[in-house]
């Protein structure tokens, strides 16, 4: 053999072949099994998942538990009497020194099938969005191509079964490719998130010894940024609800016989509500903004770098103005909000009657931010109502109370609000997750596409992990921003499922040395 040929062969053998990354292994698996992954997703979506239906939610939980077992995780159902089961899972990696906690919820919002184009638990594939002129397709057979612009319609397609449908093929790809995650994995799949996660704290106590090992929690939930770009969010708003009832006569009165004499409850309530906000949307309740926790330097920089979407959103939503303008939507979700969720006082339209209603009721929706304590914010509202001249009660007033006070308001609710939470972006674990997620976003959407949002407008039980358990936690959304979350015809764009697979593979294989 000639010496130069021998040298080339020896040199080639001496040069190690670069190991495939987790994202590359998951990507190859996905491209070879797209139809199967889509069919498995449809199968998951076919399980009704209303937390209030004990039989349905148990079947859904059992399905998810079994799928986790199939991909190598030790999984079980944790159960509390009267609660939806929690799907707990572990995938422990020999020698791993880091533990990632993964939170997903498998329950979904209630549905009214009459408002859906198709039955909500019969997944239906479309060639594009319904609004974009998409048409119904049959699910592809194994080996058939899948268009990333297709959409799958069903309840929980975007919120929040998509992450489950993405993590399963990632772990399956790793097993078949001989790759282990670089971290131990703890799965906590909530069955009551859409019902307030009432028992989540108890479930956490049941596995407190294992959860103590978690270094950082990843919440796989939520949509992409309104610009369509992928995002990471580092906090969520808290939420609480209150109802205010004002009183007139002890019964409804004929408006001809008693109008201009008996107190008009609708007007009384309208004036009270108007006293709570000015024409620009600023809340006028004393102390409303006093406890807002300031942003750190990283959060302020991220806020300034967020893409401008307000003008486009206003055109899309038919809005000539927005509360707090010129502040942006991204800025407005970082301060506490007070909204009127609903008002009742008699009837309208064909059901309207010539009466003065004896009561009028308003439902208040309050969104909290980091620094707000639910009980304190509730008391601020009660104090404001009293300053408007109302005697505040917690039950319907008796006759003695009615005759003693000119204005009476019953205030109920708000005692079990969910606090807001936020993790500092400067946290070293968070910084490395940002780096891995940025690379995944660049691959799927182009360089510099990842949006870093200090806060998310919605509410998740993040505070149980950050404030109670003392762990950093951030939200990793993957659903398309127009997925009709909580609404009829909820859907997921298939390209977003492919992005989720790539993203999760990258997050699960961050090298140990970078933390």
Which pLDDT value is given to residue 20? 87
% of the chain beyond a pLDDT of 70: 96
Domain's final residue, options 413, 436, 456: 413
Question: 138 and 43, same structural domain?
Answer: yes
Positive or negative CA dihedral for 369, 370, 374, 378?
A: negative
What letter does residue 417 receive in the DSSP assignment?
P
Phi, psi dihedrals of residue 228, rounded to the nearest 5°: 95, -10
Report DSSP letters for 360-403, one per residue.
Answer: EEEEEEEEE-TT--HHHHHHHHHHHHHHTTPEEESS---HHHHH
pLDDT (average), residues 174-193: 97
- Of 379, 387, 384, 389, nearest to 414 by C-alpha is 379
Residue 135 makes CB contacts below 8 A (sequence gap 6+) with 126, 127, 128
Question: 257 and 226, same structural domain?
Answer: no
Which three-class secondary structure state does DSSP give residue 13?
helix
Tens of pLDDT along 47-60? 999 988 999 999 99
Total domains in the fold of the chain: 2
Tens of pLDDT along 285-322? 999 999 999 999 999 999 999 999 999 999 999 999 99
In a domain, 203, yes or no: yes
Tens of pLDDT along 435-487? 999 999 999 999 999 999 999 888 899 999 999 999 999 999 999 999 999 99
pLDDT (average), residues 202-211: 97
Do 119 and 43 touch, CB atoms closer than 8 A? no
In a domain, 304, yes or no: no
Domain's final residue, options 413, 444, 466: 413
Question: 407 and 278, same structural domain?
Answer: yes
Helix (H) or strand (E) holding 33: none
Mean pLDDT of all residues belonging to the chain: 94
Which pLDDT value is given to residue 220? 97
Helix (H) or strand (E) holding 255: helix 255-258
Q: Say how far apart CA 236 and CA 414 lie, in whole Å.
A: 18
Which pLDDT value is given to residue 505? 98
Do 383 and 286 touch, CB atoms closer than 8 A? yes
What 3 state SS string does 273-291 have?
Answer: HHCCECCCCCECCCCCCCC
In a domain, 300, yes or no: no
pLDDT (average), residues 18-28: 88
Tens of pLDDT along 349-358? 988 999 999 9
Question: 365 and 256, same structural domain?
Answer: yes
Question: 64 and 164, same structural domain?
Answer: yes
- Of 376, 365, 416, nearest to 289 by C-alpha is 376
Question: 183 and 124, same structural domain?
Answer: yes
The enclosing domain of 376 has a CATH number of 3.30.70.360
Q: Are strands 99-105 and 216-219 parallel, antiparallel or unpaired?
A: parallel
Per-residue confidence band for 16, with pLDDT thresholds at 50, 70 and 90: very low
Question: 117 and 61, same structural domain?
Answer: yes
Neighbours of 418 (CB within 10 A): 20
Question: Is residue 4 over pLDDT 50?
Answer: no
In a domain, 9, yes or no: no
Question: Is residue 177 over pLDDT 80?
Answer: yes
Question: Is residue 6 over pLDDT 80?
Answer: no
Which three-class secondary structure state does DSSP give residue 62?
helix
In a domain, 302, yes or no: no
Question: Is residue 14 over pLDDT 80?
Answer: no
In a domain, 74, yes or no: yes
Which pLDDT value is given to residue 13? 39
Question: 270 and 210, same structural domain?
Answer: no
- Of 194, 14, 185, 13, nearest to 106 by C-alpha is 194
CA angle 397, 400, 404 (to 5 degrees): 95
Question: 251 and 211, same structural domain?
Answer: no
Q: Say how far apart CA 160 and CA 237 lie, in whole Å.
A: 18
How long, in residues, is the chain? 515
Question: 288 and 389, same structural domain?
Answer: yes
Which pLDDT value is given to residue 51? 87
Least-confidence region, from 90-94, 224-228, 511-515: 511-515
Which pLDDT value is given to residue 416? 86
* Tokens 């989540």, residue located: 200
* Tokens 């806020």, residue located: 303
In a domain, 64, yes or no: yes
Do 364 and 243 touch, CB atoms closer than 8 A? yes
Could you tell me the residue range of the domain that residue 490 belongs to?
19-236+420-514
pLDDT (average), residues 218-235: 95
Question: Is residue 171 over pLDDT 50?
Answer: yes
Which pLDDT value is given to residue 19? 73
Beta bridge partners of 189: 87, 104
Tens of pLDDT along 360-401? 999 999 999 999 999 999 999 999 999 999 999 999 999 999
The enclosing domain of 69 has a CATH number of 3.40.630.10
Packing angle, helices 34-45 and 54-70, rounded to 10:
150
Domain's final residue, options 392, 413, 434: 413
% of the chain beyond a pLDDT of 90: 91
In a domain, 318, yes or no: no
Question: 116 and 55, same structural domain?
Answer: yes
Do 107 and 50 touch, CB atoms closer than 8 A? yes
pLDDT (average), residues 249-253: 96
Q: Say how far apart CA 278 and CA 268 lie, in whole Å.
A: 17
- Of 413, 461, 452, nearest to 238 by C-alpha is 461
Question: 253 and 116, same structural domain?
Answer: no
CA angle 418, 423, 426 (to 5 degrees): 170
- Of 416, 502, 485, nearest to 153 by C-alpha is 485
Per-residue confidence band for 107, with pLDDT thresholds at 50, 70 and 90: very high
pLDDT (average), residues 142-149: 97
Do 238 and 463 touch, CB atoms closer than 8 A? yes
């Amino acid at each position: 053999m000639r010496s130069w040929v021998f040298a080339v062969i020896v040199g080639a053998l001496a040069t190690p072949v670069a190991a495939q990354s987790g994202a590359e292994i998951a990507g190859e698996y996905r491209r070879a099994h797209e139809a199967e992954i889509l069919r498995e997703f449809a199968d998951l979506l076919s399980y009704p998942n209303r937390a209030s239906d004990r039989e349905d939610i148990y079947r859904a939980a059992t399905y998810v538990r079994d799928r986790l077992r199939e991909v190598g995780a030790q999984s079980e159902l944790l159960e509390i009497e009267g609660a939806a089961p929690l799907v707990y899972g572990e995938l422990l990696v020999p020698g791993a020194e880091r533990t990632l906690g993964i939170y997903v919820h498998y329950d979904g919002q209630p549905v009214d099938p009459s408002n859906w184009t198709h039955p909500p638990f019969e997944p239906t594939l479309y060639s594009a969005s319904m609004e974009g002129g998409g048409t119904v397709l049959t699910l592809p057979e194994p080996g058939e191509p899948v268009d990333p612009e297709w959409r799958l319609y069903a309840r929980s397609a975007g919120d929040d079964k998509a992450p489950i449908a993405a993590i399963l093929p990632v772990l399956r790809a790793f097993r078949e490719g001989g790759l282990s995650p670089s971290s131990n994995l703890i799965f906590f799949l909530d069955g009551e998130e859409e019902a307030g996660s009432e028992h989540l704290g108890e479930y956490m106590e049941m596995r407190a010894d294992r959860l103590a090992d978690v270094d950082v929690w990843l919440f796989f939930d939520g949509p992409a940024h309104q610009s369509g770009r992928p995002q990471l969010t580092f906090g969520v708003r808290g939420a609480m609800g209150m109802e205010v009832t004002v009183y007139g006569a002890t019964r409804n009165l004929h408006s001809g016989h008693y109008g201009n004499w008996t107190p008009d409850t609708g007007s009384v309530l309208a004036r009270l509500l108007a006293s709570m906000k000015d024409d620009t949307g600023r809340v006028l309740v004393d102390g409303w903004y006093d406890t807002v926790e300031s942003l750190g330097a990283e959060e302020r920089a991220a806020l300034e770098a967020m893409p401008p979407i307000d003008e486009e959103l206003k055109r899309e939503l038919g809005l000539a103005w927005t509360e707090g303008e010129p502040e942006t939507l991204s800025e407005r979700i970082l301060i506490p909000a007070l909204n009127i969720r609903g008002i009742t006082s008699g009837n309208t339209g064909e059901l309207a009657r010539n009466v003065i209603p004896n009561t009028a009721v308003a439902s208040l929706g309050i969104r909290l931010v980091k620094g707000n304590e639910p009980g304190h914010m509730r008391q601020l509202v009660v104090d404001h109502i009293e300053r408007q001249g109302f005697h505040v009660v917690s039950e319907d007033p008796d006759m003695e109370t009615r005759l003693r006070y000119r204005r009476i308001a019953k205030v109920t609710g708000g005692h079990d609000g969910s606090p807001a939470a936020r993790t500092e972006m400067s946290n070293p674990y968070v910084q490395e997750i940002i780096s891995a997620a940025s690379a995944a976003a660049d691959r799927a959407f182009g360089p510099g596409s990842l949006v870093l949002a200090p806060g998310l407008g919605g509410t998740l039980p993040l505070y149980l992990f950050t404030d109670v358990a003392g762990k950093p936690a951030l939200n990793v959304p993957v659903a398309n921003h127009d997925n009709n979350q909580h609404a009829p015809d909820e859907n997921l764009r298939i390209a977003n499922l492919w992005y989720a697979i790539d993203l999760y593979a990258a997050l699960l294989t961050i090298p140990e040395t970078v933390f």
